[in-house]
Copies of this chain bind each other. A is one copy, B any other.
Amino acid sequence: MNSEIIAIGSELLTPYRVDTNSLFLTDQLNQFGSEVVWKTVVGDDRIRLTETIALAWKRSDLIFTIGGLGPTEDDLTRECAAAALGKQLRQDDSLVEEIEARFRARNMEMPRINLRQAMVIEDAVVMKNRNGTAPGLWIEDRGKVLVLLPGPPRELRPMFEEFCLQRLRQLLPPAIILSRVLRLTGLTESAAEELAAPIYTRYQNPVTTILASPGEVQLHLRSRGKDEAEAQDPLEKLSSQLEQALGGYIFSTSGESLEEVVGELLRTQKATLSVAESCTGGLLAQRITSVSGSSSYFLGGIVCYSNAVKLDWLDVPSDSLEQDGAVSAVVAQALAEGIRRKINSTLGVGITGVAGPTGGTSHKPVGLVYLALAGPEGTQVIEKHYLGERETIRWQASQAALDLIRRTLAGKVQNGLI
């Protein structure tokens, strides 16, 4: 059974808002083996909305509308859906009572316009809304289904999970889709493709999709079967082959971010971390501390934008700054070792580079970054050349720094040194 999604609301036809609810619905529907084949955005316009629902009812089996269930004149989904299907709308007295009770509980009288939300299409099943006044409706007729869902995600999602999931399970042939995301860093999309394609193209199931963003490549594996076992088996097989081929580039296979993976490694190894950032300007510290509980392993950081701070706070030798310049391997090393010594942490990171768009020279172009990691066994320094805008360069540098920590800690685990 194919699906179609209709997102309703004039605000979704402005330059400011995009429909994202359909991503959640698509993911859910895919897990039942139902593909979304059309998505439509239509405004709060009676004629166009009725036409859109009527067309979907004609051409698709499973239709989800999102939004337009509020109490105001603009909220037309109930009426237009009834008109499109040629069905009656009637007031549901128990719904009137429920909505009244909701208002009473807050010591308010129900405004008369909220009566609109108690209007129900004939033969429809009412879906309770735990987080708002707009109930949803589920209409089945001659093998087709039309579902009206509210627009706010915090109303839509629980309603879908509590009500629609169960109904869909009854309705659709048993099918399960399991998915896994392999998250990689340290290689380009085409390099990942080159390593992964010979493996995943041998499989019709799972289906593999490669998505890339600066500093990260993701392999999305989706495996289908009529039950868990049938879906699990090929997923495990493909996943383990890919993990073998891509090895150290993979930092997570169950959704964790790179900063979470690094945090977990630091925590289990009882190691602490400090950072000295120049070009990333606090981004690395911000990412590390975005993880709840990071105060147990992250001791602190310095954003050493001026040379004075590099000199005074981190004992970067003035010779190095003069001879090699602030953007150099020796300064990166001095930053990493300086912050580690001063803060007395297990590991210290130093980053210096040219984030651009100005400040580059032929010798030290925009995108040149030096990263250093100082630890009990010495200091590693790496040189990177990034392309892109200021924020892209900064992001990639922070990503590479996190990955350097990850590889160092994971390598130790593998070598049995800790």
Q: Please give the residue numbers on chain A whose beta carbons come within 8 Å of chain B beta carbons, in ascending order.
A: 11-20, 22-24, 26-27, 30, 35-43, 45, 48, 51-52, 55, 59, 209, 211, 220, 275, 277, 280-290, 292-295, 298-306, 308-309, 313, 342-344, 356-358, 390-391, 394
Contacts and interface: CB of A to CB of B under 8 A. Distances in A.
A289 B303 contact: yes
Contacts of A40: 38-41
Q: Copies of this chain, how many?
A: 2
A35 B16 contact: no
A19 B27 CA distance: 16
A305 B298 contact: yes
A308 to B, nearest CB: 7
Contacts of A22: 18
Given A39-B41, A302-B303, A292 B16 contact: no
A40 B38 CA distance: 7
A37 B277 CA distance: 48
B309 A343 contact: yes
Contacts of A300: 302-306, 309, 313
B292 A281 contact: no
A291 to B, nearest CB: 9
A133 to B, nearest CB: 18
B390 A290 contact: yes
A5 B15 CA distance: 12
Residue from A45, A295, A298 having most chain B Cβ neighbours under 10 A:
A295
A15 B19 CA distance: 12
B302 A302 contact: yes
Given A23-B16, A306-B299, A357 B286 contact: no
Nearest to A394: B290
Given A37-B45, A282-B289, A305-B295, A24 B15 contact: yes
A36 B394 CA distance: 37
A297 to B, nearest CB: 10
B16 A18 contact: no
A327 to B, nearest CB: 12
B285 A303 contact: yes
B30 A15 contact: yes
Nearest to A300: B309
B39 A38 contact: no
A13 B40 CA distance: 11
A270 to B, nearest CB: 15
A76 to B, nearest CB: 14
Contacts of A35: 13
Nearest to A11: B209
A279 to B, nearest CB: 8
